[in-house]
Amino acid sequence: MTQSTTVPVGSFRTGRLAEGRPQALDAWRVTTDDAEVAARIANLLGGQPQPNEGGGKLAHEVLTKVETVRLLMDGPDAVAAHMILWGSKGIIHQCDGLEFLSPEEKKGQPCGCPPVFEDRKVAAKEGRGPMPSINLTFRIAAEPALGKFHFMTSSWQMAAQLSDLTDALKRINGPAICDLTLELVAYTTKMGRGVCYQKPVVTVLGSPDTVTIEPPQVAEPTPTPAPSPLRREARLTSEPTIPSAMESIHSVSVSAALLRQAAEVLGTAGHEETVIAALSEIAAGRQQAAELFRLREQFGQITAIAGRALQGRDSALT
Is-contact 189 195, C-beta < 8 A? yes
Greater model confidence, 290 or 91: 91
pLDDT band, very low/low/confident/very high, at 284 (cuts 50, 70, 90) = very low
Q: Which of 5-9, 22-26, 313-317 has the highest mean pLDDT?
A: 22-26
Please check the confidence at residue 217 and state whether its pLDDT lies above 60.
Answer: no
pLDDT band, very low/low/confident/very high, at 5 (cuts 50, 70, 90) = low
The tens digit of pLDDT for each residue in 96-144 reads 989 999 888 889 999 999 999 899 999 998 888 999 999 999 999 999 9
**Residue 285: count of CB within 10 angstroms of its CB:** 7
pLDDT value at residue 313 = 53
Please check the confidence at residue 311 and state whether its pLDDT lies above 70.
Answer: no
Q: How far apart are CA 186 and CA 182, in angstroms?
A: 13
Burial class (CB in 10 A: 0-12, 13-18, 19+), 118: exposed
**Residue 36: count of CB within 10 angstroms of its CB:** 12
The amino acid sitting at 66 is: V
Please check the confidence at residue 224 and state whether its pLDDT lies above 60.
Answer: no
Report CA-CA distances (Å) from 120 to 36, 80, 159, 237, 258. 42, 19, 11, 18, 42
Could you tell me the residue ranges of all domains in the chain? 10-76+135-187+198-206, 79-133, 256-317
Please check the confidence at residue 253 and state whether its pLDDT lies above 50.
Answer: no
Of 48-62, 123-137, 284-298, the least confident: 284-298
The DSSP bridge partners found for residue 81 are 134
pLDDT value at residue 239 = 40
Task: Find the mean pLDDT for residues 289-315.
Answer: 54
Report CA-CA distances (Å) from 84 to 198, 231, 286. 22, 31, 47
Is-contact 16 247, C-beta < 8 A? no
Q: What is the pTM of this model?
A: 0.65
Please check the confidence at residue 189 and state whether its pLDDT lies above 50.
Answer: yes
- Which letter does DSSP use for residue 90 in this model? E
